[in-house]
Amino acid sequence: MLGLWDMSSLPAPRPHRWTRDSYEKLLDSGALGPEDRVQLIDGDILEMSPEKSRHAATVELVAEALRGVFSAGYAVRVQHPLALSARSEPEPDVAVVLGSHRDYLDRHPETALLVVEVADSSLQLDQGPKLRLYAEVGIPTYWIVNLQQKIIEVYESPAGGLYRIRRLFQEGEVPVSTRTVAVADIIA
């Protein structure tokens, strides 16, 4: 006769916390393919939302605007990984990094000057875990292009895992580097 287990005496199961190294090995193994849109955030492998046409167009508008501001010495990367910590490898919609694309043939950038997330269905993730992550690793400027409210949320001055400055732009110009970008050029 089989004995009955008292499940209340067992420890609660814990989710597996991934490192960037084990995550990359998982990707290299083919267990996850390009059709599996995922990213590593604070040890969790999170599925990315399907990309709708407004999101895709806005990502390209942001990249185009930022390429007009940042030239030689900077690379504007679209939906590529950043190796931010031992447990995080997000794929922001747009990131401005030092150097050129050739500097990253054998490794992902470990920081960025500016990270931009275009948010519609991902708004909670972008305003929560990603906001904290980018502040914790010291990304100087983080934008959320909030498609729900048609505003650009600009976060600056990270300290102690938080951004000290938050500004909202619904119209006009968003300051970036020594220039500006028109909100109307990004949000249609």
User: Is the per-residue pLDDT at 178 higher than 60?
Assistant: yes
pLDDT in tens, 135-159: 999 999 999 999 999 999 999 999 9
Bridge partners for 116 per DSSP: 94, 143
- CB-facing half-sphere around the CA of 148: CA atoms within 13 A: 10
Q: Which pLDDT does position 85 carry in this prediction?
A: 95
Residue 160, helix vs strand vs coil: coil
The domain segmentation of the chain, as residue ranges, is 49-185
Q: Find all residues with CB under 8 Å of 96, minimum gap 6, and list them.
A: 66, 70, 74, 75, 76, 77, 112, 113, 114, 115
Confidence of residue 107 (pLDDT cuts 50, 70, 90): very high
Buried b (16+ CB within 10 A) or exposed e, 15-39: eeebebeebbeebeeeeeeeeeebb
Mean pLDDT of the chain: 91
Q: Which pLDDT does position 5 carry in this prediction?
A: 61
145: closest CA among 172, 115, 111? Answer: 115
Q: Which pLDDT does position 166 carry in this prediction?
A: 97
- Beta pairing class for 151-159 and 162-169: antiparallel
Buried b (16+ CB within 10 A) or exposed e, 112-136: bebbbbbbbebbebbbebbbebbbb
Q: Which pLDDT does position 113 carry in this prediction?
A: 97
Superfamily of 49-185 according to CATH = tt1808, chain A (3.90.1570.10)
The residue assigned the tokens 């084990």 is 22
Q: Which pLDDT does position 174 carry in this prediction?
A: 94
